[in-house]
């Protein structure tokens, strides 16, 4: 862990999160920002710098957090992003995860839960608070090409499973973006997260992993 970005307009949250991040990642540089403007100024000069983790408050007063997510993925390429939020509405959580974040963290979470979220996200898994009312889809439901649609099957979010299905169908990022109604930057972020979750480095290898899992599921018990 080299560099972490922390964006929140509440001084107490910034202080507490910075302290915990420093404890968890003692060798990382933790950069804090209290506004959209200060972050955008930083991104303008540091877009080529590697960033391992970003924690973004979706409720910044000077900009829409989801718009800022798009900017982060466009400027930094793929990086692990966790969304901090005052809201606990399931719709907000689903929207954030669909946008490419690796976790949705209501600010009322305990320190232990925050640490769990950071550990899961940096390991390539997705964190959803246990009290979330947004239930997952049917665990047994496969897609038409045999790709599991339940995120727990491959450690992916539902939207990442959608992207993976189209990836396995041979579609390129631009076509996936058009079909799913996503921006190209969001699709690229999803693809990168999929590769990391599957432990592979190319789209072809991801397709091979899915094909192998499909073959195993067809074998008689």
52 touches 1 (CB < 8 A): yes
Judgement on whether residues 110 and 25 belong to the same structural domain of the protein: yes
Does 62 fall in a domain?
A: yes
Domain end call among 122, 139, 169? 122
- Coil vs helix vs strand at 213: helix
User: What CATH number has the domain bearing residue 209?
Assistant: 1.10.10.10
Judgement on whether residues 116 and 7 belong to the same structural domain of the protein: yes
Measured between alpha carbons, how far is 49 from 46 in angstroms, rounded to an integer? 5
> Cβ contacts of residue 27 below 8 Å, gap of 6+?
1, 2
126 touches 155 (CB < 8 A): yes
Judgement on whether residues 69 and 160 belong to the same structural domain of the protein: no
Does 95 fall in a domain?
A: yes
What is the DSSP-derived secondary structure letter of residue 176?
A: H
Judgement on whether residues 157 and 117 belong to the same structural domain of the protein: no
Residues in a beta bridge with 142 = 148
150 touches 141 (CB < 8 A): yes
pLDDT the model gives residue 146: 43
* Model pTM score: 0.63
Does 139 fall in a domain?
A: no
Judgement on whether residues 106 and 165 belong to the same structural domain of the protein: no
pLDDT the model gives residue 37: 86
Measured between alpha carbons, how far is 68 from 42 in angstroms, rounded to an integer? 13
Does 115 fall in a domain?
A: yes
Judgement on whether residues 106 and 155 belong to the same structural domain of the protein: no
Number of domains in the chain: 2
Judgement on whether residues 116 and 203 belong to the same structural domain of the protein: no
* Local mean pLDDT, 10-residue blocks, the chain (221 residues): 89 90 91 89 80 90 81 82 87 82 87 83 75 42 42 65 88 91 84 82 85 64 49
What is the residue range of 65's domain?
3-122
Does 127 fall in a domain?
A: no
Does 27 fall in a domain?
A: yes
Does 141 fall in a domain?
A: no
- 138: exposed, middle or buried (Cβ count in 10 Å: 0-12, 13-18, 19+): exposed
Judgement on whether residues 9 and 103 belong to the same structural domain of the protein: yes
Calculate the alpha carbon distances from 163 to 77, 108, 111, 167, 210 in Å.
17, 31, 33, 6, 13
pLDDT the model gives residue 215: 62
User: What CATH number has the domain bearing residue 26?
Assistant: 3.40.50.2300
Does 15 fall in a domain?
A: yes
Measured between alpha carbons, how far is 221 from 209 in angstroms, rounded to an integer? 20
pLDDT the model gives residue 141: 40
Judgement on whether residues 101 and 157 belong to the same structural domain of the protein: no
Measured between alpha carbons, how far is 6 from 54 in angstroms, rounded to an integer? 6
């Amino acid at each position: 862990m080299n560099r972490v970005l922390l964006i929140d307009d509440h001084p107490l949250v910034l202080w507490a999160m910075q302290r915990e991040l420093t404890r968890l990642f003692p060798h990382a540089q933790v950069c804090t920002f209290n506004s959209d403007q200060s972050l955008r100024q930083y991104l303008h000069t540091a877009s080529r710098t590697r960033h391992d983790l970003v924690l973004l408050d979706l409720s910044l007063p000077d900009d829409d957090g989801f718009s800022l997510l798009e900017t982060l993925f466009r400027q930094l390429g793929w990086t692990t992003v966790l969304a901090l939020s005052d809201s606990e509405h399931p719709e907000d959580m689903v929207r954030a995860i669909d946008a490419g974040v690796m976790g949705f963290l209501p600010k009322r979470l305990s320190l232990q839960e925050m640490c769990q979220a950071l550990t899961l996200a940096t390991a390539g898994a997705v964190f959803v608070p246990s009290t979330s009312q947004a239930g997952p889809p049917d665990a047994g439901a496969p897609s038409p090409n045999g790709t599991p649609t339940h995120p727990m099957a491959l450690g992916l979010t539902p939207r990442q499973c959608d992207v993976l299905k189209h990836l396995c169908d041979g579609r390129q990022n631009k076509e996936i973006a058009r079909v799913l109604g996503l921006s190209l930057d969001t699709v690229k972020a999803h693809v990168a997260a999929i590769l990391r979750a599957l432990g592979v480095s190319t789209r072809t290898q991801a397709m091979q992993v899915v094909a192998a899992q499909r073959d195993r599921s067809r074998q008689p018990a």
